[in-house]
Amino acid sequence: MSHFSQIKTQIRNLSSLQEALNDLGIDWKQGPATVRGYQGQTHSAEVVIPQENQYDVGFRWNGNEYELVADLQYWQQPLTVNGFLNQVSQRYAYHTVKNTTSAEGFQVAEEQKNEDGSIRLVVQRWSA
């Protein structure tokens, strides 16, 4: 019986996910790599976050999105699973917006971090 949980996300871009993890100071390995779980069980994932207790957290492509894969009984991150995913998702969205708008010729004109933790970005594009 597998102890692994798969948690759906809205994360679809691997480089934005990796940039988000870097922003948060999370030590991760690029895959494909093995996520270690209960009694030697493993899953393959594109991003693996090793934990000191030898049970890893990973993000695995399921054909639609990068889902979080972990044995939640051995979760050892400083935040809860939801808190962790919220932080990763916010930084992921930030990088996705910046990368997408940059590819379309926009530049960040203003960036503001609000007291509630949200981020306000103003982008602009000059046209000839």
SS3 assignment, position 40: helix
Chain-centroid distance, C-alpha 35: 15
Decide if pLDDT at 2 tops 70.
no
Average pLDDT, the chain: 91
Which amino acid, 17? L
Do residues 2 and 41 lie in contact, with contact meaning Cβ atoms separated by under 8 Å?
yes
Dist. CA 33–CA 53, nearest whole Å: 17
The pLDDT value recorded for residue 39 is: 85
Dist. CA 88–CA 82, nearest whole Å: 10
The pLDDT value recorded for residue 123 is: 87
The pLDDT value recorded for residue 111 is: 87
Dist. CA 96–CA 72, nearest whole Å: 27
The pLDDT value recorded for residue 108 is: 86
Name the token pair of 14: 């691997």
Decide if pLDDT at 23 tops 70.
yes
The pLDDT value recorded for residue 128 is: 64
pLDDT in tens, 35-85: 998 888 899 999 999 999 999 999 999 999 999 999 988 999 889 999 999
The pLDDT value recorded for residue 64 is: 95
C-alpha to C-alpha distances, 65 to 12, 26, 31, 124, nearest whole angstrom: 5, 20, 15, 29
